């Protein structure tokens, strides 16, 4: 099974900061990686798929990059509504798997 390791597990940043979250896969997943945002008590929301394609309606301050085993989610200018927990997911090999999550707090 493919393990996904996210870092950091927690980060606290100020509005307008640039934030970077990384996701490392235990084996290559090509571009079959998605990023989700989850707010407390809510369902996850798809942000990025195919490692770098922005889902419709998601603000352009979110971007994704990477291929193979190393991926990055970047928020170029953090906004107050961006708090929550971010998860990566690999869709290359079954069983599918999620990273452990990165909780983002607004200072």
CB of 107 to other proteins, least distance (A): 23
DSSP state string for 48-83: EETTTEEPTT--TTEEEEEETTEEEEEESS--GGG-
**Structure tokens that stand for 94 in this block:** 């079954």
Examine residue 99 and tell whether it contacts other proteins (CB under 8 A): yes
Q: Which position among 19, 32, 71, 73 is part of the footprint of other proteins (CB under 8 A)?
A: 32
Instruction: Show contacts with other proteins in window 33-72 (CB under 8 A).
Output: 34, 36, 38, 42-46, 49-50, 52-53, 55
Nearest-angstrom CA–CA distance, 75 and 59: 10
CA-based angle 53:98:76, to the nearest 5? 40
CB of 101 to other proteins, least distance (A): 5
Query: Which residues of this protein are in contact with other proteins, per CB under 8 A?
Result: 1, 31-32, 34, 36, 38, 42-46, 49-50, 52-53, 55, 85, 87, 89, 91, 94-101
């Amino acid at each position: 099974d493919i393990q996904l390791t996210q870092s950091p597990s927690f980060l606290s940043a100020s509005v307008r900061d640039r934030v970077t979250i990384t996701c490392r896969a235990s084996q290559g997943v090509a571009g079959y990686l998605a990023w989700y945002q989850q707010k407390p008590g809510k369902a996850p929301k798809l942000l990025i798929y195919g490692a770098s394609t922005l889902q419709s309606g998601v603000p352009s301050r979110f971007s994704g990059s990477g291929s193979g085993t190393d991926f990055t989610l970047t928020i170029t200018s953090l906004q107050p509504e961006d708090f929550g927990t971010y998860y990566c997911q690999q869709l290359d090999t079954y069983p599918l798997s999620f990273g452990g999550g990165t909780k983002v707090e607004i200072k």
